Amino acid sequence: MREAYFHEDDYCQTELLPIANLQHCRDQLGEIESFSAQHKSEFGWTDMYVRPDAPQTLADCRITLIELQRVLGQFLPTFDRVMTGYSTYKKPCQNTIAFGADTNLILFAAHDGEFIITLWLTIFGLSEHDAELASRVLKQMSQWRLLLVDWSMSALVALNETDAVERYLAEFRASDDS
């Protein structure tokens, strides 16, 4: 049985949102950077910034679970089970599906049974092959006019901008290599 796992802190850290949120996400990345600089201490941070929800949700796009499975299934098989947790604690995720050839590149989708509610990625140890696969998958997903927002790397990429997606993946590979 293939199992996909995400640490609870990784939920939507690299998420896909409607492109209508471009300015909101750009503003939030600036707010996060400013807040982080103001609250940085010798041992971490003195406070926590909580991002507000995007004005347009992924659910507003009305992407069906069946559509997503059709599009991603041509590139990535689904995992049998999705788990989340922290440390040694793990629990199954209800109404969540995951796609990936292995555990280096996984796309997670939470759904209500019919429509996709959230989409997020986890990427670890991205090889050249994985980067090419990720590029093809993200290009296919551009049909839904989505953005990739990597909150931890302060990256914002419209999926229809192929060169920007390639640069993001190249930067990510470089950060994994270090």
pTM: 0.90
The predicted-structure confidence for 136-172, as pLDDT tens digits, reads as follows: 999 999 999 999 999 999 999 999 999 999 999 887 6
Cα-Cα-Cα-Cα dihedral of 79, 123, 158, 29, to 10°? 120
Pure H helices in the chain: 22-39, 65-73, 128-141, 162-177
pLDDT at position 101 is 85
Torsional sign, CA 95, 17, 11, 98: positive
Tell me the percentage of the chain whose pLDDT exceeds 70.
96
How many angstroms separate the Cα of 117 from the Cα of each of 43, 152, 176? 36, 21, 29
Main-chain dihedrals φ then ψ at residue 90, nearest 5 degrees: -135, 145
Kindly report, residue by residue over 24-69, the tens digit of the pLDDT: 999 999 999 999 999 999 999 999 999 999 999 999 999 999 999 9
Confidence of residue 173 (pLDDT cuts 50, 70, 90): low
